[in-house]
Chain A
Amino acid sequence: MMQATDKQENPTRSGLVTAPELKRHGFFRNVFSGIKSLLEGMKVTFHYLSHPSTVVTQQYPENRATLKMMERYRALLTMIHDENGLHKCTGCQICHDNCPNASINVVTRSNPVSGKKELDRYIWRMDSCTFCNLCVQVCPFGVLKMDGSFEGAVYDRRLFVFTLNHYAGPAAGLLAKVADPEERKKMIEPRDRYSGPVPLNGQELAGVKALKKAESGCCGGSGGCCSDSQGSQGSKEMK
């Protein structure tokens, strides 16, 4: 306690608060004050018992319909597709380079029509992702976003590795410049959620069949909607 006075180089506007000493009294007073303290504690707990309005427990699976995550909640990386189903990713691989644990693999190809470099598959490994949000931040085109669909549990770990883009082809801006709809169709090739060129991406493992393309197709819209079908499908595969 000798240090209490010195070492305080910057005594701006305030000092110290010292812990109070616990007092001991005579035997009988101790007994009664002890019982009183226990009763006061009981009063607090009985107050909660008798007031159902203070209950804060959420009945989780039952309240799914009303349960809404915060808009910034980071649970599932998704690629933003506009109303025409087009994304803005150019395959520049900045996110790929900035990912701290190599959870992102951006596979590029050259376009069959124009020969330009473009996105083939955007493969994300949910199992090694730490949800640090760096990919979303560094993307110069605002392609990615973190979605709030947190129900990501699956029965097959291969289901954690999936393709985020719905088609291989040029970004929305470039595609809009192509006037001929026939040529536009040729530039685009659809991509399903699984069966990419990366190990574990829906491929065959020892004793486990490869995920079928028809089964593993994404339901199209926001990425999170597949989680239910994934789960049941995964369990089917395991059998």
Chain B
Amino acid sequence: MSVHITTLDDRVRLRQDDSSPLSTQEYFVNMGPQHPSTHGVLRLVLKLDGETVREVIPVLGYIHRGIEKMGEHQSYRQFVHLSDRLDYLSALINNWAVSMTIEKAANIELNDRIQVIRTLMAELQRIQSHQLWWGVFGMDLGAFTPFLYGFRDREIIADIFEETVGARLTMNYIQPGGLMYDIHPGFVKRVKAFLQYFKPKLAEYETLLSGNVILQERLRGVGRMDGQTALSIGATGPVLRASGVPLDLRKSEAYGSYGKVAFDVVIGKNGDCWDRYWVRLEEMRQSMKIVEQLIDNIPEGKHMVMKPAVKIKLPEGCYYNQVETARGILGVYIVSDGKESPYRIHLRTPNFNNLWAITETAANWRLGDLVAILSSLDVVVPDIDR
């Protein structure tokens, strides 16, 4: 097997077929890095034939901040706050991934209270992330109203976080050894109020967007990807599950308190945009189910099992751990040489792999469908580049 390496230069060189007067001309167009529907600085080089997309070449690196390298110069405790800045819509879940890796490596035992609060926070974050995605998805397809509705409902969860965590986006709340603060006395009340508020709103989402004939026609059968392809490119999360593969770490590894609650893994049938859309909507319902089961019986206990100023040193070796974020599997790989900061940190981020689904799914669809497909993959660009 040989590896064929191409540069962007090679790939954008056109080989025109002028043999027939009917042959059309292909051309290249840059979509991004500032295109509004790429949600950030993602650059896609499109090979177009008229309005038909022949090839999509993602070009990365516009928001590369070297988080992995920075991690080598920071203590384990300090690194957690950088994980907020990967997939900023799953900041708490990213915190959890890093903290859990460190805790497993350092053999830190956690009590039930910490686990339950972490699970609650992660599920609220998942709902919040999907709310934002739903709004932006509608906006990408030309409906501005969902964007406002999505943000309106997201605000309520942002308030819950603001009260307990003190931040709305970059949390740094889940830390090695526990949580930064105990939950605020008003937390349970607020979460219950949110559940009561959001259930009818979710039905409204269905009426407004899911039932809309224009949306259905734009999503049905568009950008199909079968389970085998999705697995081979390493797609995870709702993108993989929409292709019919029921891989959900919350179920298969049951970390945190997921083993104690009943919820369903949501999968799609065809792996098209409609399935990816529906899987996320249903996941919000499942997350609410998890929150409902946990919110009434948060066990007593301390919120931090170790002192915050204690330096953490991991024994020499390699450690890997993964969690299910709102977009898929986030894996944290730490190589430790026994010092206070890691020798090497590698992050296996969900969006990086999910993005490559666009090369498989978007070919031979129209430019307008490309926007729908890209939006249905729900990529967060800072997570791709780190």
Contacts and interface: CB of A to CB of B under 8 A. Distances in A.
B152 to A, nearest CB: 5
A239 interface: no
B231 to A, nearest CB: 8
A130 B211 contact: no
B240 to A, nearest CB: 10
A98 B309 contact: yes
A130 B170 contact: yes
A133 B246 CA distance: 38
A3 B244 contact: yes
A100 interface: yes
Nearest to B77: A134
Interface stretch (A8-16, A186-194, A203-211, A212-220): A8-16
Given A18-B267, A74-B167, A40 B211 contact: yes
Contact of A70 (B155, B163, B214): B163
Nearest to B161: A70
A146 interface: yes
B166 A17 contact: no
Contacts of A142: none
B98 interface: no
Contacts of B152: 56
Interface residues of A, number: 47
Contacts of A69: 162
A29 to B, nearest CB: 12
Q: Find the residue from A2, A7, A22, A69 having the highest chain B CB count within 10 A.
A: A22
B153 to A, nearest CB: 9
Interface residues of B, number: 57
B269 interface: yes
B264 interface: yes
Interface stretch (B32-40, B274-282, B323-331, B376-384): B274-282
A193 B184 CA distance: 33
A38 B212 contact: yes
Contacts of A137: 180, 308-309
Given A56-B152, A72-B166, A132 B172 contact: yes
Contacts of B163: 70, 72
Nearest to B204: A44
A16 B267 contact: yes
Interface in B217-255: 220, 227, 242, 244-247, 251-252, 254
B74 A19 contact: no
Contacts of B155: 56
Nearest to A2: B227
Contacts of A21: 269
A222 interface: no
A19 B265 CA distance: 11
A140 interface: yes
A72 B184 contact: yes
Contact of B74 (A22, A45, A70, A100): A100
A56 B165 CA distance: 23
A67 interface: no
B279 to A, nearest CB: 6
Contacts of A72: 162-166, 181, 184
A19 B170 contact: no
B213 interface: yes
B81 A16 contact: no
Given A40-B207, A44-B208, 15 more contacts: A10-B259, A18-B269, A19-B242, A19-B266, A19-B269, A19-B278, A19-B279, A22-B220, A43-B207, A74-B167, A130-B81, A133-B166, A133-B180, A138-B309, A140-B309
10 contacts: A3-B227, A4-B245, A10-B252, A14-B263, A17-B282, A19-B282, A72-B165, A132-B170, A134-B77, A137-B308
